[in-house]
Amino acid sequence: MFSGIVEEAATVVRVTKDGGNVHLTIRASFVDELKIDQSVAHNGVCLTVVALHGDGTYTVTAIEETLRRSNLGLLCEGDRVNLERCMIMNGRLDGHIVQGHVDCTARCVDIEEVEGSRYFKFRYEVAPGLLRKGYLTVEKGSVTVNGVSLTVCDSEPDSFRVAIIPYTFEHTNFGDIRVGSTVNLEFDIIGKYIARIAELSPAE
């Protein structure tokens, strides 16, 4: 379980393909605090640490299903990836409840600078049945973009905008996002449960 508060935008130092899987080796400042089998969110995707190296790096493995649903398969050496370790249950929930299970990807279609901050607009495909699964946003609701907990503005059926303050722009890989970039989305789990209950509830 995560909160969507990114700890570090770390660097990918090696990408190794292994059949349908991809092994990602990451350089991060907190590697000495990690252990094998620990969960770390990478651009919002929960992955398990499978190897620790003595040079300040560690390795995780993304399977084919994860690569299909996320942007991890697009990562190259030198790219920055947003990292968050799992929540400590006696801590504050500064973001919102994030599972680390990416629902789909979206494409950045517009970036607008407004008085020092930036508005990013993302569009995603609304396939049949996905709205019933809760793949949607609501005005002032929460959404996770590349692992970052954000508040939705200008919610539309297949798009939304988020406002990015300078701190977030500088300390996450939002600074690397351009029009056309692919990002990971995780929709609000509470909204998904409500959508599922509404789908299963008998009509009166």
> Which CATH code of 3.50.50.60, 3.30.930.10, 3.40.50.360, 2.40.30.20 fits the domain covering 104-200?
2.40.30.20
Q: Where are the domains of the chain?
A: 8-85, 104-200
143: which residues sit within 8 A by CB, 6+ positions away?
137, 150, 152, 160, 162, 185, 186, 187, 188
pLDDT tens, N- to C-terminus, the chain (204 residues) = 899 999 999 999 999 999 999 999 999 999 999 999 999 999 999 999 999 998 999 999 999 999 999 999 999 999 999 999 998 877 778 889 999 999 999 999 999 999 889 999 999 998 777 777 778 899 999 999 999 999 999 999 999 999 999 999 999 999 999 999 999 999 999 888 888 888 887 665
H helices present in the chain, as ranges:
64-69, 166-171, 189-200
Q: Is the pTM of this model over 0.95?
A: no
Supply the pLDDT for residue 60: 98
**Same CATH fold, 104-200 and 8-85?**
yes
Contact (CB, 8 A) for 77 and 131: no
Instruction: Give the chain's length.
Output: 204
CATH of 8-85, one of 2.40.30.20, 3.30.420.40, 3.10.20.30, 3.10.50.40: 2.40.30.20
Q: Provide the pLDDT for residue 134.
A: 78
